[in-house]
Amino acid sequence: MKINAIQGSIQSAEADTLIVNLFEGITSPAGATGAIDTALKGAISEMIANGDLKGKGGEVAVLYPRGAIPAKRVLVVGLGKQNEFNLEAARQAAAAAITRARDLNAKEVATIVHGGGIGKMEPAAAAQALVEGSLLALYQYDAPKQQAEKPNQINSLTLVEHDPEKLAGIRAGVAVAEAVGTGAALARDLVNMPPNVATPTKLAKVAKRIAEDHGMKIIVGGRKWAAKRDMGAFLSVAKGAGEPPKFIVLEHNGEREDLDTIVLVGKGITFDTGGISIKPSQGMGAMKSDMGGAAAVLGAMKAVGLMELPLRVIGITPCTENMPDADAYRPSDVITASNGKTIEIISTDAEGRMVLADGLVFAKRYDPKAVIDLATLTGACVVALGSKAAGMFTNEDTLRDKLLSAGVTSHERVWPLPLWKDYRKDIDSDVADMKNGGGRPGGAATAAIFLKEFTDFPWVHLDIAGMALSEKKSGYITAGATGFGVRLLAEFLRSW
């Protein structure tokens, strides 16, 4: 879909469908909506007076101008209460309107910027929210199945702004939203792919394409490469895998050591059977999403490349399957990670923290100002927070606050959970430096305290187990992969 921003009047826009808006409780539309109302001889005011249009969040009314203006139809989307309006409300309104336009088989859509007028938002932020909500809502996974007819698609979205002084900000917001939307779509695609397609080799190919498109340095390490670096934790999980493991590293501004360095580490278990500690068969298919952390990192790196951020950003994704096999690692094995620490295996289904351990150790060589890992790590975090927020564990309060703020802005929310020393006792081992599991109570915290053993830099662990998949459509989140983490990371990096 082509997206652009122009100066002009919405009622004169060359499009088959126009989108304007209305706050709840407004009885006399003003601004661009008022101009459309005047052109339609009070049609919007009449709907309001008759109670057919209230302006509630997500409500969409359709009007047909019958030649009064060039467009074939006008959509009026509700913004909800003005005193509750924010960036997320703008995203949701844009999603509701653009989805309805697509369902009506609109091809060229023109819209005003929700919140850019009486909503009093900064033009760039409002435009970014509008385009993000639209792109996220229109996402469709290109599933490998035969279809009788192609689904409706919108060809163009034009943001129309009357005030020329706001146009530069709006265009800047559009550019950011397109970059972030592209990254989120990539992450969604990777998680939605069947696990026989989204293999470690496939993820490596995607990473290579990102590197080629944006001039990034890339490393793709296999078993021998990892063995030379003593990555025993990563390789232990990969022992039973039929697919070759890939330790993927992308470097944006990799040679620029004068820039602040942020390292992103994503868990890349492309399918998780649980290994020898095998999972129940019911629901195992959802474990194709166990590379949601790696998908988020690759999506974020795509967005970073498109935005050309003036930071040194490193993306690390240790990728492998976790399979039961004659060569697979076992409970009671003792494994040595690349920092020399030994790990007693309690469960082979606690594999994500194993691959992350060597990923975090590898991050140290970049002398990072911050390291953020993302992982669909524990069911315990889902029990604690559900699908409303990711669990956040950190050794640095400043990073906590920055990520909380980025989560509010992007609405990919995170919530702090404790990283207390008390939890360390739960992974004490008689035969190794630590165990890879601490039992069911406090499972998210004991997983985080395990990862802490492989860090000596400012670090945040995000447990996104409840966030990677959505069972049903909700607003701009389609059923299936959510792409969670891309927009959060992009906002965090942009505001660094």
Catalytic residue among 107, 229, 279, 494: 279
Q: Return the closest-CA partner of residue 328 out of 407, 434, 208, 237.
A: 237
* Closest residue by Cα to residue 233 from 324, 331, 335: 335
Alpha-carbon distance values, 17 to 6, 11, 21, 44, 117 (Å): 16, 10, 13, 16, 20
279 belongs to the catalytic site: yes
Please report how many Cα atoms fall inside a 13 Å half-sphere around the Cα of residue 444, on the Cβ side. Answer: 27
CB 487 within 8 A of CB 402: no
User: Would residue 353 show up in a list of annotated catalytic residues for this protein?
Assistant: yes
Residue with tokens 């309001």: 48
**Alpha helices, DSSP H, located in 120-248:** 123-138, 167-192, 200-214, 223-228, 232-238
Alpha-carbon span 189 to 222, nearest angstrom = 24
CB 247 within 8 A of CB 318: yes
d(CA 238, CA 197): 18
Per the listing, tokens 């706050």 go with 23
Which one is catalytic: 239, 246, 267, 353?
353
Work out the end-to-end distance of the chain between its first and last CA atoms, rounded to an integer number of angstroms.
30
**Residue among 98, 169, 84 nearest 133 (CA):** 98
- Token couple for 236: 């232990």
Helices (H), 364-481: 379-385, 397-410, 443-452
**Active-site positions?**
279, 353
